[in-house]
Structure 1
């Protein structure tokens, strides 16, 4: 029985990594360019993974996304900012890993506490989205207060922090709402199927 569960978990993890790769390479599927920015939908896949197969697997899938982001920053950037900031793994990889850990562990805790899995999924989706946006923009503010990055945002260095706050309030909000809606719509039926299959 345990071996069957391990095979099932490994299969789900592989499928989700394949979805991440597809989202990353198909234009407008995982990253929607908006000027110098890129609105992502890939964080939702990581959050769903963290809920369905657990926080550690969510972190692995998030790490796969982060590594793809890091590699693409060198060879095929998804936005004008990517070659300036995403070449740093602390910006491109670590936040993606943390999405899986935060969303997965929060979901487990809330599901046990409230006995309302859909609500737990919505809150885990929100937390995962905030983790990604907050850590990426926070790392940019910490490491990249440079004229080149400020120019890519269309501001001078003195206005970089307000520009990042604006992005948090616009892109971050759009990604958060998307996660709050889509995560329970996908994760709940998948978990139900997994429970029935035993």
Structure 2
């Protein structure tokens, strides 16, 4: 990789990180509060970064989002659950990093195997979104089967798993659909421009 290509890659990564920061701090742009939950659109940005720049850079962008989520859980919680569960970096940071790795590597494999770029982008977006939702909810259930967390979901501890599965089926489904549509719409033109500039 030439010096010019490194500068271009670093610049684009910085732009993605700036978008993540903007989405995280501007109300309703990246996180849409809904009762005790917070529906996110930031996973789309992470998936696009992973597709355009690769899984490692996607993990860096996702990790940035995770760190912001972790810090906000202490100083400006986005939902009543945040100070209960997102103060644990395994719940707030690790799943965000995994979005970039999973979406990036899956896109690479699918695009080489199928040759259909947009389809590969859509599938990578869906699986990246599912990675985030599945890991966050799964880790909440693993670490936080407590009355306080169950009460935040409006159930008792015995029904916490059911509540998490309902969230996975409802909110998770909305995020999956959004990712399936938005990721290829954004990633394809950005990737084309990036490839053309890299060839110059």
TM superposition score category, shorter chain reference: over 0.9
**Structure 2 portions without partners, runs of 5+:** none
> Within 5 Å, which residues of 2 pair with 1:119-198?
119-197=119-197, 198=199
Question: Partners in 2 of 1:127 and 1:152 — Cα distance?
Answer: 27
Aligned positions, number: 198
Question: Partners in 2 of 1:69 and 1:173 — Cα distance?
Answer: 21
**SS of residue matched to 1:65:** helix
Question: Partners in 1 of 2:142 and 2:196 — Cα distance?
Answer: 47
1:98 corresponding residue in structure 2 = 98
Please give the root-mean-square deviation of Cα atoms over the aligned residues, in Å. 0.7
> TM-score normalized by structure 2?
0.98
Alpha-carbon distance, 1:4 to partner: 1.1
Alpha-carbon distance, 1:189 to partner: 0.4
Question: Partners in 2 of 1:191 and 1:15 — Cα distance?
Answer: 14
* 1:2-25 CA-partner distances (Å, limit 9, x unpaired): 111111110011000000000000
Alpha-carbon distance, 1:52 to partner: 0.5
Q: Tell which deviates more after alignment, 1-10 or 160-169.
A: 1-10
1:75 corresponding residue in structure 2 = 75
**SS of residue matched to 1:106:** helix
> Within 5 Å, which residues of 2 pair with 1:1-12?
2-12=2-12
Alpha-carbon distance, 1:196 to partner: 1.9
1:109 corresponding residue in structure 2 = 109
> TM-score normalized by structure 1?
0.99
Question: Partners in 1 of 2:50 and 2:195 — Cα distance?
Answer: 16
**SS of residue matched to 1:38:** strand
Alpha-carbon distance, 1:176 to partner: 0.5
**SS of residue matched to 2:39:** strand
1:21 corresponding residue in structure 2 = 21
1:57 corresponding residue in structure 2 = 57
Alpha-carbon distance, 1:84 to partner: 0.2
Question: Partners in 2 of 1:196 and 1:90 — Cα distance?
Answer: 38
